A and B are shown apart, each in its own frame.
Chain A
Amino acid sequence: MTRQLILATLLGVSASVAHAEVVSPTAVVANEYGEISTSLTGVAGDPVRGAEVMTSRSLGNCIACHQVTALEEFPFHGEVGPSLDGAGARWDEAAMRGIVVNAKAIFPESVMPSFYKVDGFTRPGDAFTGKAAPGALDPLLTAQDIEDVVAYLLTLTD
């Protein structure tokens, strides 16, 4: 296959090569256990940035529900979900990615939001306005946010 042919194929899907490597929310492939073995971006997750996503109220806000001893400097950890201490020793990368993308595929009754999902909602809104969503929804986190969070969670081994 020539270089020109590859480019032509990609242009039909996406404007840039970098974007073409991002798996869209509707194209994520999970196995029968909800595990996702392939990176959503092909770019290694950054655990430092992942911690930022975990603690930022406008991003993942993971500590709203989960206690994480390593993030103690950020106040007010919630109790709705299990503590994430040692989570990196309990789950491998594929399972971790599966949980962050769509926890309900692994734990059907989970309260946890699906962070990389864009459809199948009841009365989806326009963020926190209370108004109806004007069009297609963005996932709660970007693909790279997810990879960064997964990378951070895998560091929590004790």
Chain B
Amino acid sequence: MTGQTKRVVVAMAALALTASSLAVWADEDADLVVNGEIEMVVRTDAPAHLDGAVRTIYSGWVFRQDDTQAMQMDDFDNPGMLFAEQGQELFNTAMGANGESCASCHTNAEDLTRVRATYPKWDEAHGAVQTVEMQVQECQTESMGMAEAWGQNSQEMLNMTAYIASIGRGQVIDVAIDGPAQATWDAGKEIYYTRYGQLELSCANCHEQNYGNYIRADHLSQGQINGFPTYRLKNARLNGTHNRFRGCIRDTRGETFAIGSDEFIALELYVASRGNGLTVEGPSVRN
């Protein structure tokens, strides 16, 4: 080895700078275990009601690069958990005229373990399919005496739904699509396959026909929502399902539906049902 080479080697040993995003590629075969204990199902056979549209369903985690994947494998590295913790505080905070907190009724939060895995869900009393957000709003206005419930896309609601998802992590998603929910599911399916906007793109064009492919630098996932709300590295905050739907339709150069609209409730039920068999991951980490 020449002296010149040696000096360079010494210098290399002395200062190294690594941008994690350079060091990684999506490991589509990786398995997800969070905190070394919560085993997630990130790929499994598609539910029968997809009629073979896809053979295997994949969590969006599978399509992310190694460092993004790693951030979800440990709660300390997952910034979304900061917001789940704030949601837990809200859960135990009295709100509304009756001086009650969520915990006043739900004395054991573990009783809510299956909530994220089974919503949206038909609500007999209201005669409609309800999202988790609508259920929280119902508790606030009908039980807790709040004049105005949190907005569906408010930070409080995102924190609360992150907390509710976090206690259901690892639960297998099993959203009911038959019985009274069927008409809503049918409506959601119709939306899923409709080509919106001036670009004439449906959900299926990207997330059913082209998952695993790249659009420019975007690695297309199946558009599963089992990881919501999700902490996106792009905007460094929690993102709700309907807000993400809105972003996708906006990107078709289309007129979006509103967050909380009947259309998005139907689409949420339908897309959630496409993930039946995956596990609850929220708050997940995505790009």
Cα distance, A63 to B214, chains bound together (Å) = 10
**B155 interface residue per 8 A CB criterion:** no
**Residue A137 is within 8 A (CB to CB) of chain B in the complex:** yes
Is B167 among interface residues, defined by CB-CB distance under 8 A?
Answer: no
B251 touches A128 (CB 8 A): yes
Query: B222-247 CB contact bits vs A (8 Å, 1 = yes)?
Result: 00000000000000000000000010
Q: Please, how many angstroms separate the alpha-carbon atoms of A75 and B206 in the complex?
A: 21
The total of chain B residues at the interface (CB under 8 A) is 27
- Interchain CB contact under 8 A, B255 and A130: yes
Of A26-34, A89-97, A118-126, the stretch lying at the interface with chain B is A118-126
Interface segment out of the listed B16-24, B65-73, B196-204: B196-204
Shortest distance from the beta carbon of A110 to any chain B beta carbon, whole Å:
9
* A64 CA to B215 CA, complexed, in Å: 5
Do B250 and A79 touch across chains, with their CB atoms under 8 A apart?
no
Residues of A within 8 A of B200 (CB): 104, 113-114, 121-122
> Is A58 on the interface with B (CB-CB < 8 A)?
no
- A122 and B254 contact, CB distance less than 8 A: yes
Query: Which residues B255-278 have CB closer than 8 A to chain A?
Result: 255-256
Query: Would you call B216 and A124 a contact (CB within 8 A)?
Result: no
The residue in B195, B201, B209, B249 that gathers the most chain A C-beta atoms within 10 A of its C-beta is B195
Chain B residues with CB under 8 Å of A20's CB are none
B253 within 8 A of A: yes
How distant is the Cα of A113 from the Cα of B246 in the complex, in angstroms? Answer: 19
Inter-chain contact B217/A76, CB cutoff 8 Å: yes
Say yes or no: A130 contacts B249, CB within 8 Å.
yes
Q: Which residues of A are found within 8 Å of B254, using beta-carbon distances? A: 121-125, 130
In this complex, the interface size class of chain A, counting residues with CB under 8 Å from chain B, is 20 to 34
Is the pair A111, B209 in contact by a Cβ cutoff of 8 Å?
yes
A77 and B252 CA atoms in complex are apart in Å by: 19
Minimum CB–CB distance for B265 against chain A, Å = 17
Q: Which has the most chain A C-beta neighbours within 10 Å: B210, B249, B251?
A: B210
The answer to whether A3 has its CB under 8 Å from any CB of chain B is no
Nearest-neighbor residue (CB-CB) of A140 within chain B: B198
Within the complex, which residue of A61, A63, A104, A122 is in contact with B196, where a contact is CB–CB below 8 Å?
A: A122
- The answer on a CB contact under 8 Å between B251 and A122 is no
Q: Is the interface of B mostly helix, strand, loop or mixed?
A: loop
With A111-B209, A122-B194, A125-B197 as given contacts, are A131 and B215 in contact (CB-CB < 8 Å)? no
Cβ contact of B215, chosen from A80, A113, A125, A130, cutoff 8 A: A80
Inter-chain CB contacts under 8 Å: number: 86
A80–B217 Cα gap in the complex (Å)? 12
Judging by beta carbons under 8 Å apart, are B246 and A78 in contact? no
- How far apart are A136's CB and chain B's nearest CB, in angstroms? 12
Is B35 part of the contact surface with A, judged by Cβ < 8 Å?
A: no
Residues of A with C-beta under 8 A to B93: none
Interface residue A1 (Cβ < 8 Å from any Cβ of B): no
Q: A15 near B: Cβ within 8 Å?
A: no
Task: For A123, give its contact among B215, B246, B255 (CB under 8 Å).
Answer: B255
Q: Do A132 and B255 touch across chains, with their CB atoms under 8 A apart?
A: yes
Chain A residues with Cβ under 8 A from B220's Cβ? 80
The answer to whether B253 and A76 touch across the interface, beta carbons within 8 angstroms, is no
Q: Are B253 and A128 in contact (CB under 8 A)?
A: yes
- B213 CB-CB contact with A under 8 Å: yes
Closest beta carbon of chain B to A3's beta carbon, Å: 40
Q: Closest CB-CB distance, B273 to chain A, in whole Å?
A: 23
| 22 A-B pairs whose Cβ atoms sit less than 8 Å apart in the complex | A57-B216, A64-B215, A65-B215, A77-B216, A79-B210, A80-B214, A111-B201, A111-B206, A113-B199, A114-B200, A122-B194, A122-B196, A122-B197, A122-B200, A123-B196, A123-B254, A124-B198, A125-B249, A125-B252, A125-B253, A128-B253, A130-B246
A-B pairs with the 8 shortest C-beta distances? Answer: A130-B250, A79-B213, A64-B216, A76-B217, A132-B255, A130-B256, A123-B255, A113-B199
Additional pairs, 14, CB under 8 Å, beyond known A79-B214, A123-B196 = A65-B215, A79-B210, A111-B206, A113-B201, A121-B254, A122-B254, A123-B249, A124-B253, A125-B250, A125-B256, A126-B255, A129-B250, A130-B246, A130-B254
